[in-house]
Structure 1
Amino acid sequence: MKLRALLFDLDGTLADTDRLHEQAWLEALARHGIKADHHYYQTQISGGLNPEIVRRVLPQLSQAEGERFLAQKEARFRELAARVTPLPGLLELWGWAQERGLKRALVSNAPRENAEHLLERLSLRFDLVVLSEELPLGKPDPLPYRTALQRLGLGPEAALAFEDSPSGVRAAVGAGIPTVALTTGHKARDLEQAGAFLCIPNFTDRRLWDWLKDHDPAMS
């Protein structure tokens, strides 16, 4: 089947924001006496859903306290992300997809306020936005990607997903979608083990463009 849609994660995929999330999380956890580091962030936080993370790492907080913690953490992230820029090659890929009439969907665990904040700064407009917080299950469950495919009216073989975390890769692959992983926050071997067929540092990678050339709907 022809390639008809590109599905993107947000943080660490459209822009190198993972380090900003890490900084915001570590600052917030430090206020609760948790001396976390990069390894802690990668293994305990990256790619997860905020409410689940708080319940696991700060079980002493009430629901209201957890919500305040997250609101403060996300406000700090948006402050840090004021000058965020697209990953190299993203705009070229965006134009390539637009010229071919490919649908573009955002599939993210990010809170809506963060997603809107980043998309405004990146000047990107998607045909569809699917956010895990608005579904019964988020990544690593495949439901967000299955929801995107359903709303687009496509089978998984007609889509290509871009992710940056093992949990995100598992979600996309679990929905049957071929998945490319960005190595902005995790090692290639971990992303490959999760199911990514290609790992790239950014969207300028020639291997990605070779794959796109081979699956170019304009050449079918």
Structure 2
Amino acid sequence: MKLRALLFDLDGTLADTDRLHEQAWLEGLSRYGIQGDHHFYQTQISGGLNPEIVQRLLPQLSEAEGQRFIEQKEARFRELATTVQPLPGLRVLWNWAGERGLGRALVSNAPRGNALYLLERLGLVFDHIVLSEDLPAGKPDPLPYRMALQHLNLAPQEALAFEDSPSGVRSAVGAGLPTVALTTGHPPEALAQAGAFLCIPDYTDPRLWDWLRALG
């Protein structure tokens, strides 16, 4: 395989933001009497699409009320994310890819406002940005990653995906992409079961670099 592009999820993959999303979600849900914890967040929220989550957890809300809940939750997240930093080793990988002329695409379920906010904070500029809110289906459907490959004019075996949730891994693997999973929010067993061939805590892991060097 000749590697020609890197495809990244956003939250939990470029930066360890899952704990901030968890706090914002659980604060919002507590106002409706739902007292969640970390396990609840992992199993009921992480990696999902906002409208689907709200419809499932707060079915009593009208569409307009649900949208207001989402907007308030995301505003709270941005308040919490003012000092967010890239995961260790990301800058090195980013520069390594740039030096080799590899394409870089963002593929995320995040709302556009959050995505642009975090990318500005992290100082990252992608060749292409694919957001699920612009598509008929989001992760875990493979469509977002298929669209990224289409934008880059690449076959799946020419790219490498980085994800952090089982639903994100299933999306990337479903599109035929070899996928590395970051263990920032989920145990490696769940990520491997979803299809990740390598699970790493961050981008300094020597196993990632051994694999990249093996590609030549």
TM-score by length of 1: 0.98
Give the aligned CA root-mean-square deviation in angstroms.
Answer: 0.4
Q: CA deviation at 1:215?
A: 1.4
Residue-by-residue CA offset, 1:143-194 (whole Å, 9 max, x unaligned): 0000000111000000000000000000000000000000000000000000
User: Which residue of structure 1 aligns with residue 133 of structure 2?
Assistant: 133
1:50-79 Cα offsets, whole Å, 9 max, x none, are 000000000000000000000000000000
Counterpart of 2:90?
A: 90
Structure 2 gaps, min length 5: none
The alignment partner of 2:19 has SS state of: helix
CA distance in 2, matches of 1:143, 1:214: 29
Counterpart-to-counterpart distance in 1, 2:169 and 2:198 = 11
Q: Which runs of 5 or more structure 1 residues have no equivalent in the other structure? A: none
Q: Which residue of 2 aligns with 1:165?
A: 165
TM-score (norm 2): 0.99
- Deviations 1:185-208, CA, capped at 9 Å, x for gaps: 000000000000000000000000
Structure-1 separation of matches of 2:186 and 2:14: 15
Instruction: Note the 1:116-131 alignment, pairs <5 A.
Output: 116-131=116-131
Shift of 1:112: 0.2
Any idea what SS the aligned residue of 1:146 has?
helix
Distance 1:215 1:163 in 2: 20
Matched, 1:67 2:67: yes
Q: Equivalent residue for 1:211? A: 211
Residues 118-166 of structure 1: per-residue CA shift (max 9 Å, x gap) = 0000000000000001100000000000000011100000000000000
Match status 1:185 vs 2:185: yes
Aligned length: 216
Partner of 1:12 in structure 2?
A: 12
Runs of 4+ residues over 6 Å off in structure 1 = none
Amino acid of the structure 2 residue aligned with 1:51: P
Question: Which amino acid counterpart does residue 179 of structure 1 have in structure 2?
Answer: T
